[in-house]
Structure 1
Amino acid sequence: MHMPVPLTRDIVLIGGGHTHALVLRAWGMSPVPGVRLTLIDPNATAAYSGMLPGHVAGHYARSDLEIDLVRLARFSGARLVLGAASAIDPDAREVHVPGRAPIAYDVASVDVGITSAMPGLPGFTEHGVPAKPLGTFADRWAQFVTDAATGHVAPQAAVIGAGVAGVELAMAMAHRLKTAGCQDAQVTLIEAGRMVSTLSAAARRDLRAAIDTAEIRLIERTAACSVTSTSVELEDGRSVPCSFCVGAAGTRPHDWVAQSGLSVTNGFIDVDDMLRSTSHRTLFAVGDCAHMTHAPRPKAGVYAVRQAPVLARNLRAAVVGLQPRRYHPQRDYLKLISLGEKSALVEKGPITLQGDWLWRLKNRIDRDFMDKFRNLRPMPAPAIKGDVARDARKAQAAPLCGGCGAKVGAAGLASALAGLPVSTRDDVLSTPGDDAAILDFGSTRQVLTTDHLRAVVEDPALMTRIAAIHALGDIWAMGGHPQAALATIILPRMSEPMQAATLREITHCAQEVLAQAGAVLAGGHTTQGSDLTIGFTVTGLVDEPITLAGAQPGDALILTRAIGSGTLLAGEMRAQSEGADMAELYSTLVRPQGDAAALLALSAHAMTDVTGFGLVGHLLAMLNASGRGAQVTLDAIPVYAGAKALAARGIASTLAPANRASAIGALDGLTDTPASALLFDPQTCGGLLAAVPQAEAKKLVQGLQRQGHSAVQIGQITDGPCRIQLS
């Protein structure tokens, strides 16, 4: 029997810079069995610096220059940790990310770039915008253009630092403001020394002419001494009017990198000709955050791109035992400088050229680079060989969803449970279909539930948060107060050190989530299997349980959370969901709903949480228990960003067809639309669904929204057959 290779080595990539992005792509095409690859980055996307001036000028949409790290991680088989590294312990081989246990590594690489923040310049932190990191700058710039075009702020911008990056940004900003209708726009370029001092005299002369043509004010040999909300103050006493101030003066390493205990030069990690830290051979560094001790070079993206194949080889060599490669950076490189409009200037050695055709050349180079990260699809599963049972090949074609999408369908589950005998114990008060068992201890009542989820993300800490909050949902839905939990953990086959490190990540997050809910992690059980699976058995205390029964005619139906998580997760498995949509979804899934349950419990006649059987399935369970019907307004139901688009392309969770088949007979007014398809979508960490008196509905919805929940009224309970009327 073929057995998967157990995991024995951890490679951790810190930062989603250009080099690491290319390494992930190469790894996805040829992974090393037995290696767990991890990417740590605070963002779901990484901006490509080469296209930033074009985006600022309005030539590219934001999506044109973003590398989708969620999709890239899925393609490469890496676990993605959406968090910002705050420290490295190179001796203990651990990376620290706030809010979670340290992430252990055997081999690590750092590609976190640099920052253009200017903390030493008074007022810049409050009123300025660093040109790096690129994502934050792009967001702030887009808002400024909108505000300037609508007259809310003066169209006056300043760039501190007239190196190549500063000049490109200033010219792009001037062009964009004019095309946005700000004819009185003024962009000022401020340089303490000489403009683009790294270029030849001929290139500087041509750039100066282009700056003058763009009507950019250039101030040289004068430093900025402070920044206010309306100006940049200069050391010579002059004041530059400014509503948007960009910092592009030089480069600074991130403080935590400089304080990492690694050998550094001016805060940049010293690396040798194999891109390894000169002080710690199990750690590599690339891109702008690294200092190449064997061949110092200026900070430029071209070096980061060309380091990628060497780093990919050397990471592989470190965990397999191969001979590493040496990196030899070129002495000079082609400098293509955008000039705001679709024109560019190029310098290579003594040659300087300028023209529209050079912009087209730069555009083709940049788009070719970005095309490497488009249309990535996970590698298909190996084909089944030999004799195969009927329908087995068809069943293998669709990947099995995780989370609630991996549940057994309602019809099959009901059939299996139908033959069970009715309990004769008078201390077990719950009825079939309730969210949790109700146990009577005289003056005390306890609710008991169990739930486990096959992983929907590779990050065990994030998966733990999702699984714990998902399990707590049944306690909250019955108006209970979480008390204690037992964890059930199935780890993929891995070495003992990796088991210990992974369990530390899981238990750290489990304890944190449960403690926030008022419960304790009392123990649990672990085993190894084919996939990461995390579950919790949870108890809670309750005075008077809120069950599925009790909904009254005229009650308002309140839903606290959007639907569509199953479709988004299914799309992500197929590398078709947008990374930004997934990051937004994850942030919602790990948001506890104890406060929402406490507010609803004051009024609810019936309540449940929407999970595996979808919104319609769980609503029907409430209606059947209460002997009522319901009217639901389809357009009122909130939907996660990106879910409708995926549903329109036919993407659905593997459980959705069974959910539809179980519920279709009780629906009236159903139409074949993407929105209606999501009614059957299995939800992981889904919202609470409560039937409350109509007179209190508005106040409750407003209260839930103040708590931060996207709560809405989606319909009402009717006196009639157990059916749902959609409108």
Structure 2
Amino acid sequence: MHAAPALPLTRDIVLIGGGHTHALVLRMWGMNPLPGVRLTVINPTPSAAYSGMLPGHVAGHYTRDELQLDLVKLARHAGARLILGRATGIDRARRLIEVPGRAPIAYDVASIDIGITAEMPQLPGFLDHVAPAKPLDAFADAWDAFAANPPESPKIAVVGGGVAGVELAMACAHRLPQAQVTVYEAAPEALRALGTGARNAMLAHCARLGVTIETDAALIGAEKGRLLLEGDRTAEADFIIGTGATKPADWLPETGLDLTDGFVTVGPTLQSSDPAIFAAGDIAHLSHAPRPKAGVYAVREAKPLFANLRAAASGGAMKTYQPQRDYLKLISTGGKQAVADKWGLPLNGAWLWRWKDHIDRKFMAKVHDLPAMPTPPLPREHAQGIAEVLGSKPMCGGCGAKLGGQALREALSDLPAPARADVLSGPGDDAAVLSCGTQTQVFTTDHVRAFTEDPWLLGRIVALHAMSDAWAMGAAPQAALAQVTLPRQSEELGARTLREMLSAASEAFRDAGCDLVGGHTSMGAELTLGFTVTGLAERPLGQDGATPGEVLILTKPLGTGVILAAEMAKHAPGDVVAGALESMGRSSAEASAILAPIASATTDVTGFGLAGHLLGLCEASGVSAELNLAAIPLLDGAEALAEAGEHSTLLPQNIANCAGRMTAPPGPRTELLHDPQTSGGLLASVPAAQATEVLAKLEAAGYRAAQIGVIAEGPAFLRVR
């Protein structure tokens, strides 16, 4: 019996923003995806802070990691592509979402959950001197920096005497007991949303912590170190928190959607005035049942939104959402105590904190403890060797999905030497070197199995990766051809995917002075992308010029292979993955320009890892090398993941490829010498006298470059200390 073919993709659903509602939708989608839908989430950061635990974080009860919803892991769980960018507009006529710095994102159905801000930009000095409590991530960053190194007797001002403002004020006072914390409320009374009993309990906790509340104190501006209040009053403050505003995104009016006070107006199905666009969370105004901006509504909107997004893409029936009239407010009071308020009935005590903590941790467990989808079992009867080839983990993408070095050498060993006089290099070099009259041309090709669901990002990184061989040889890229295999999908989705990939690739090539002039596409089982590149060089660099006494310089940190492998398993933190993608998206053009006039031998560090590529350079040059293990730069999080047992599927072959040709101490850092890199750095052998100058130029150009070892006499061998 043949396996059922993967169903083609025909619809794009795009989630704009990584708010609480969308986070839960991603979790539910992973458990029950709709066949034929490509799901996308757009968010500026790889994680989003959970509002329910923010006061506890400010008070010091939760770490920053405990506060974060990891959108990278959620997207992997849902089979969605995560686009790290900030949406700034929607072209409804063309169904395109604008994200600066990249091609627009096409949608058939979209949902907005971008939250709100507490900014008051109309007030002089607010943007420069006030930390708005929303967006949560930016506020948490600002607070963490202040709380880590506060003045001797800090003065903290909280603008806004609602529940959120007073709760944060008490959290600040608990975290920094030496601080003078004051709440400034424009109205005659603070905490007006609470019943009398809960309000009195909150005021008693403020008195216990020394938090002062000033009413009839409207903010009119801010300066460095002080607030400007109505009535020509001022107040000193070392840190100012803004909670008194709820401001939606500025670009929403330009969409033409119906808005209420700037918020997207939605009905019982959470659809806006455009049936193809939904909205949820703080950014949505429930026209049929207006409610205050509260996380409890965002959480409960997830199930109907999930159902209705599926219905919109499949033609099914919509469900309605009717929010509860009131909800239980559990308000932390600095220490591990809380006040509760519902229907005017107050409760107070440490047991309420434990209840609130349980609720918050239960929510976070939902989005953190993502169930693993079981791997389909092998058929009862199968050919010998299948289990060994499959291994214990899914095949990696990028350079982790290539043939091992030993097998490749054996395959290439039967190729004949070049027969043409104008072909100056043979099999095994980084690129072919061709004689073209008085010039020298390099000719190279590379392609990878997709390692990200984002076609735009894939296009940029693979273009840079393909040019890497040319840059390693000191050549200026000249022209490129694309080779694309698209997964089975509708013509429209295929065109969208191709447009995104090639727009990013074309920009990367153009920045390098290279033209993307065409290529070939086909449909297949999965997305792969490659480019053939030509380049011109006055003095092509090879791997055969290194001499003893020279030093080795690496231009990028290692670790992309282990990070991409861990991301596939939902084990890599989102910020670690974002850092790896950023490194892969860094062009080596400037590094090549700096190294080419000085280096004696160069190579790029890609699929066979630093050790494998360095041994190749040593063999070509007839030398050995010594590495300083501690000096080798690593991507943030890479060593911790390697120590935890994460690794690329190509790692065992890379280690075997170097067996008997190197010595090194055991441990995760040594494993990373074999880690396959995608769009990795350049490795160059340069004269020792010029190493300091070269490193200074590379660092000034923005590279995390390092001197990692030396070239020594002797046959090709690598000693790592």
Could you tell me the TM-score, scaled by structure 1's length? 0.97
Matched residue, 1:721: 715
Q: Please say if 1:44 is aligned against 2:46.
A: yes
2:528 is aligned with 1:529: no
Determine helix, strand or coil for the equivalent of 2:127.
helix
Tell me, yes or no, if the aligned pair for 2:119 and 2:245 is still in contact at 8 Å: no
Aligned twin of 2:354:
360
Could you tell me which of 615, 636, 645 is aligned with 2:640?
Answer: 645
Q: CA–CA distance in 2 between the matches of 1:692 and 1:119? A: 53
Match of 1:218 among 213, 217, 223: 213
SS in 2 for 1:665: coil
Equivalents in 2 of 1:398, 1:61: separation in Å?
31
The 2-side partners of 1:455 and 1:441 are apart by 35
Work out whether residues 555 and 683 of structure 2, in 8 Å CA contact, stay in contact via their aligned partners in 1. yes
CA distance in 2 between counterparts of 1:124 and 1:68 reads 30
- When structure 1 is superposed on structure 2, of 195-204 and 353-362 the one drifting more is 195-204
Q: 2:87 is matched with which residue?
A: 85
Q: For the residues of structure 1 that align with 2:462 and 2:717, how far apart are their CA atoms?
A: 31
2:697 is the alignment partner of 1:698: no
1:401 to 393, 396, 401: 396
Instruction: Deviation per CA, 1:324-346: give whole Å up to 9, x if none.
Output: 11001000000111111111111
1:450 aligned counterpart, secondary structure: strand
Matched, 1:617 2:612: yes
Structure-to-structure mapping, 1:76-115, within 5 angstroms: 76-115=78-117
Checking the alignment, whether the CA contact within 8 Å between 1:16 and 1:39 is kept in structure 2 is: yes
Please list the CA deviations of residues 599-631 of structure 1 after superposition, one character each: whole Å capped at 9, or x if unmatched. 011210000100000000000010000000111
Report the Cα distance in structure 1 between the residues aligned to 2:553 and 2:374, rounded to whole angstroms.
42
Residue identity opposite 1:61 in structure 2: T
- Give the CA deviation at 1:393: 3.1
Counterpart in 2 of 1:539?
534
2-side partners of 1:258 and 1:345: how far apart? 38
Q: How many angstroms apart in 2 are the aligned matches of 1:452 and 1:399?
A: 19
1:497 to 476, 492, 501: 492
Q: Which residue of 1 aligns with 2:166?
A: 167
* Counterpart Cα distance in 2 of 1:211 and 1:636: 52
Where 2:697 maps in the other structure, the secondary structure is: helix
Q: Deviations over 1:260-289 (max 9, x none)?
A: 211111110010101001x21011000000
Q: CA deviation at 1:42?
A: 0.8
Question: Does the Cα contact within 8 Å between 2:21 and 2:298 map onto a contact in 1?
Answer: yes
Match status 1:120 vs 2:122: yes
3-state SS in 2 of match to 1:722: coil
Residue 102 of structure 1 and its aligned partner are, at CA, apart by 1.3
Residues 1:313 and 2:315 aligned together: no
Deviation of the 1:350 alpha carbon: 2.3
- 2:556 and 2:705 in contact (8 A); partners too: yes
Name the residue aligned to 1:688: 682
Equivalent-residue separation in structure 1 for 2:375 and 2:517 (angstroms): 39
Tell me the alpha carbon deviations over residues 618-650 of structure 1, each in whole angstroms, 9 at most, x when there is no partner: 000100000001111111111111111221122
Q: Please tell me whether the aligned partners of residues 417 and 426 of structure 2 are also in contact (alpha carbons under 8 angstroms).
A: no
What's the counterpart of residue 234 of structure 1? 229
Q: Distance in 2 between matches of 1:257 and 1:343?
A: 39
How far is 1:680 from its partner? 0.8
Is the counterpart of residue 482 in structure 1 residue 477 in structure 2? yes
Equivalent residue number for residue 183 of structure 2: 189
Q: Give 2:598's match in structure 1, choosing from 574, 597, 603.
A: 603
Please say if residues 90 and 262 of structure 1, whose CA atoms lie closer than 8 Å, have aligned partners that are also in contact. Answer: no
1:258 Cα deviation after fit? 3.1
Question: Does the Cα contact within 8 Å between 2:554 and 2:684 map onto a contact in 1?
Answer: yes
Whether 1:290 and 2:289 are equivalent positions in the alignment is no
In structure 2, give the amino acid aligned to 1:403. G
Deviations 1:338-362 (A, max 9, x none): 1111111110102011111111110
Residue by residue over 1:287-317, the C-alpha shift from the partner in whole angstroms, topping out at 9 and shown as x without a partner, is 0000000111110010000001111111111
**Secondary structure of 1:571's aligned partner:** helix
Taking the TM superposition and a 5 Å limit, the aligned residue runs for 1:255-334 are 255-277=250-272, 279-334=273-328
**Quick check: 2:553–2:685 contact (8 Å CA) kept in 1?**
yes
> In the alignment, which of 317, 327, 333 is matched to residue 339 of structure 1?
333
Q: Deviations over 1:456-493 (max 9, x none)?
A: 10000011111011111111100011111111111111
Unaligned runs of 5+ in 2: none
Q: CA deviation at 1:520?
A: 1.1
Q: CA deviation at 1:72?
A: 0.6
User: Which residue does 1:473 correspond to in 2?
Assistant: 468
Aligned partners of 1:377 and 1:574 also within 8 Å? no
Render the CA deviation track for 1:478-513: whole Å, top value 9, x for unaligned: 001111111111111100111111111112111111
Displacement after TM superposition at 1:665 (Å): 1.0
Question: Partners of 1:373 and 1:564 in 2: how far apart?
Answer: 26
Which residue is equivalent to 2:157? 158
SS of the equivalent of 2:531 reads strand
**Does the 8 Å contact 2:415/2:427 carry over to 1?**
no
Q: How does 1:365-376 map to 2 (within 5 A)?
A: 365-376=359-370
Aligned pairs for 1:457-468 (under 5 A) are: 457-468=452-463
Q: Does the 8 Å contact 1:74/1:378 carry over to 2?
A: no
Q: Corresponding residue for 2:421?
A: 426
2:63: which partner in 1? 61
Question: What CA distance in whole angstroms lies between the structure 2 residues aligned with 1:428 and 1:118?
Answer: 66
Equivalent pairs: percent with the same residue?
A: 52
- Counterpart contact for 1:168–1:338, Cα < 8 Å: yes
Q: 1:116, 1:492 → 2: CA distance? A: 43
- Secondary structure of 1:602's counterpart equals coil
Q: CA deviation at 1:375?
A: 3.0
- 1:370-410 C-alpha deviation (Å, 9 max, x unpaired): 01122325413322223111231343332011100001111
Q: What is the match of residue 76 of structure 2?
A: 74
Structure 1 CA distance, aligned partners of 2:428 and 2:22?
A: 49
Q: Secondary structure at the match of 1:116?
A: coil
Q: Secondary structure at the match of 2:368?
A: coil
Indicate if the aligned counterparts of 1:93 and 1:106 stay in contact, CA closer than 8 A.
yes
Q: Secondary structure at the match of 2:251?
A: helix
Q: How does 1:16-31 map to 2 (within 5 A)?
A: 16-31=18-33
Within-5 A mapping of 1:514-593: 514-593=509-588
The separation in 1 between residues aligned to 2:425 and 2:155, in whole angstroms, is 67
How far, CA to CA, are the matches of 1:3 and 1:387 in structure 2? 20
Corresponding residue for residue 405 of structure 2: 410
Amino acid at match of 1:164: V
Matched position secondary structure for 2:466: helix
2:344 and 2:495 map into 1 onto residues whose CA distance is 58
Is 1:635–2:637 an aligned residue pair?
Answer: no
Please, which runs of 5 or more residues in structure 1 have no aligned partner?
none
- Find the aligned partners of 2:374 and 2:542 in 1 and give their Cα distance: 44
- Deviation, structure 1 residue 245: 1.0
Residues of 2 paired with 1:450 and 1:43: CA distance?
33
**TM-score, normalising length: structure 2:** 0.98
**Are 1:12 and 1:107, in contact at CA under 8 Å, matched by a contact in 2?**
yes
CA drift at 1:142: 0.7
Q: Does the 8 Å CA contact 2:432/2:443 hold for their aligned counterparts?
A: yes
**Bigger mean CA offset, 52-61 vs 508-517:** 508-517
| Shift in Å, 1:667 | 0.5
Q: State the Cα deviation string for residues 231-271 of structure 1 (Å, max 9, x = none).
A: 01111222211111111112010111233211111110010
**How many Å apart are 1:433 and its aligned residue?**
2.9
Counterpart residue identity of residue 21, structure 1: A
Between the two proteins, the alignment pairs up a number of residues equal to 717
SS in 1 for 2:150: helix
Partner of 1:244: 239
Within the candidate set 703, 706, 717, 1:709 is matched to: 703
**CA-CA distance at 1:450 after TM superposition:** 0.5
Q: CA RMSD in A?
A: 1.1
Post-superposition offset of 1:204: 2.0
